[in-house]
Amino acid sequence: MTVDTRPINTREDIKLSNAQIAWRAAQDIADGAYVNLGIGFPEMVARYQPPGRQAVFHTENGILNFGEAPAAGQEDWDLINAGKKAVTLKPGAAFFHHADSFAMVRGGHLDIAILGALQVAQNGDLANWRVGSKGVPAVGGAMDLVHGAKQVSVITEHVTKNGEPKLVEKCTFPLTGVACITRVYTSHAVVDVVGGHFVLREKLAGMTVDELQAMTGAQLHIEGPVGDLVVPEL
């Protein structure tokens, strides 16, 4: 038997941009849903709500129904989001203190939380807060946000910059939460976590299931139809 030592083709040629991954995640947010978007990349999801749908966004420092960033020079530094960026308010906004804010999170009141990831394991374990044990550790609200929302989704590249899988059998980075992720939107696919394994729901039409499997660190199960992952140019 010969071992295939060729590098895995991670299909960089067809992968979705971050904006396109965020767009795809936004299509699953219902009108009126209460949503928390993690700091950084997940914040992009708010830009791509389908016409006619309006989610209510929660930020853990204590605002419901905040909106876009203000124009430069118009910032009010008492009105910021969890990423400490200035925001604005929409009609129907509310302020509350931190204990109430995390009661909304852990108490099951949010419909969807969307987070970034270093690794997601096939049982839904998430690692997204630190790479190793060096430097200054900082967790923020990451370990709280993975508990309580009805759906806890991840948006991520399918593989790291070095081509290593981010969807894995078992996380090697420190865990953020155990068995907490329900859906993963990647640059190449949409994958659900069901009963301790990954179930492929959608993949880019320009690649085969075998190609996708080769760049995934755990078995992708096929249960029912696999749709084409179709997104607009953005």
Partner 1 sequence: MDKTVGSLAEAVSEIHDGATVMIGGFGGSGAPIELIHALIDKRPKNLTVVNNNAGNGRIGIAAMIDAGMVRKMICSFPKSSDPRAFTDKYLAGEIELELVPQGTLAERIRAGGAGIPAFYTPTAYGTELAQGKVIAEFDGRHYVQERWLKADFAIVKAHFGDSYGNLTYNKAARNFNPLMCMAAAKTIVQVSKIVQAGEIDPEHVVTPGIFVDRVVEVENPQQEEELIRAGVAYL
Would you give the DSSP letter of residue 27? T
Contact window for partner 1 (CB under 8 A) among 56-64, 183-191, 193-201, 224-232? 56-64
Of 8 and 80, which CB lies nearer to partner 1 in the complex structure?
80
| Residue 226 binds partner 1 (CB under 8 A) | no
Interacting positions 151-180 with partner 1 (CB under 8 A): 174-178
**Residue 84, Cα to own-chain centre: how many angstroms?**
19
| Residue 143 binds partner 1 (CB under 8 A) | yes
Report the nearest approach of partner 1 to the CB of residue 155 (Å): 21
**Catalytic residue list contains 60:** yes
Q: How many CB atoms lie within 10 A of CB 231?
A: 16
**Residue 22, Cα to own-chain centre: how many angstroms?**
8
The burial of 125, by beta-carbon neighbours within 10 Å (0-12 exposed, 13-18 middle, 19 or more buried), is given as: buried
C-alpha closest to that of 212 among 3, 10, 25 = 10
Q: Which residues of 47-80 are buried (b: 16+ CB within 10 A; e: fewer)?
A: ebbeeeeebbbbbbbbbbbbeeeeeeeeeeeeeb
Torsion of CA 73, 67, 48, 221, to 10 degrees: 120
Report the nearest approach of partner 1 to the CB of residue 106 (Å): 6
| Residue 97 binds partner 1 (CB under 8 A) | yes
Pairing of strands 220-221, 56-59: unpaired
Report the nearest approach of partner 1 to the CB of residue 199 (Å): 23
Interacting positions 116-135 with partner 1 (CB under 8 A): 125, 135
Determine which residue in the list 116, 141, 165, 217 makes contact with partner 1, applying CB under 8 A. 141
C-alpha closest to that of 145 among 117, 110, 173, 93 = 110
Would you give the DSSP letter of residue 223? -
Determine which residue in the list 19, 80, 194, 214 makes contact with partner 1, applying CB under 8 A. 80
| Residue 8 binds partner 1 (CB under 8 A) | no
| Residue 147 binds partner 1 (CB under 8 A) | yes
Q: How many CB atoms lie within 10 A of CB 31?
A: 10
Determine which residue in the list 54, 90, 96, 231 makes contact with partner 1, applying CB under 8 A. 96
3-state secondary structure of 185: strand
Query: Of residues 60, 157, 202, 211, which has the active-site annotation?
Result: 60
Report the nearest approach of partner 1 to the CB of residue 41 (Å): 17
| Residue 78 binds partner 1 (CB under 8 A) | yes
Which stretches of the chain bind partner 1, using CB under 8 A? 59-63, 75-80, 84, 95-99, 101-102, 105-106, 125, 135-144, 147-148, 174-178
By annotation, the residues acting in catalysis are 60
